[in-house]
Amino acid sequence: YFELHREVVKLAGALATLGVRAGDRVVIYMGMVPEVVIGMLACARLGAVHSVVFGGFAAEALRDRINDCGAKIVLTQDGAWRRGNVVPMKATVDKAVAETKSVEKVLVLRRLGPEHATITMTAGRDIFWEAAIAARDKTLGVAPTIVDGEHPLFVLYTSGSTGKPKGVMHTTAGYLTGVHVSVKYVFDI
């Protein structure tokens, strides 16, 4: 838990250095890596609203969700492995972000290595995850932002199978209350 906390605080500081403040939206488009959880918790620490978008979605689906929520930042990775093949996640983000107006920065986690992922970094917009953390202002993003119980925590989009995907807003206290009830009464913990 200490290691997780340390990584969350570092990323929260990096996001704060990039201008992320309470109420800003951050889209997380990544594979199944620990940094997804770090990203969600870093956003919560700043009072920013995150939206996790399934890493297998096409650029159009990602673009629609970014535009709908008005994301300022996208967290992604160079690529992911799926069934032995490389999924070019950064290329998908580039295509999606080309048709958005709100995205200011894209943080890119190096996951695959240069032998498996050739990516294009857009100057002024794209930043490698490690570089953003190294360049963070260590006075920003360290203490958690205190928010009201009704403050938005995250937006989860419906599948879109019956029409345009709809963003479902989950509030901070509402979500935590729901988790508590599920853990207590469903799982008997």
d(CA 108, CA 105): 10
Mean pLDDT score, 164-189: 94
Is the pLDDT reported for residue 155 higher than 80? yes
Q: What is the helix, strand, coil percentage profile of the chain, to 5?
A: 35, 20, 45
Other Cβ atoms less than 10 A from the Cβ of 6: the count is 11
The residue type found at 84 is: G
What would the two tokens of residue 47 be?
Answer: 């009072």
| Number of residues written out for the chain | 189
d(CA 186, CA 189): 8
Q: What percent of the chain has pLDDT over 90?
A: 86
Strands (E), 60-151: 73-77, 80-82, 85-87, 105-109, 126-128
For 29-54, the pLDDT digits (tens) are: 999 999 999 999 999 999 999 999 99
Q: What percent of the chain has pLDDT over 70?
A: 99
Mean pLDDT score, 141-149: 90
For 81-139, the pLDDT digits (tens) are: 888 888 999 999 999 999 999 999 999 999 997 777 689 999 999 999 999 999 998 88
Mean pLDDT score, 157-161: 87
d(CA 71, CA 67): 7
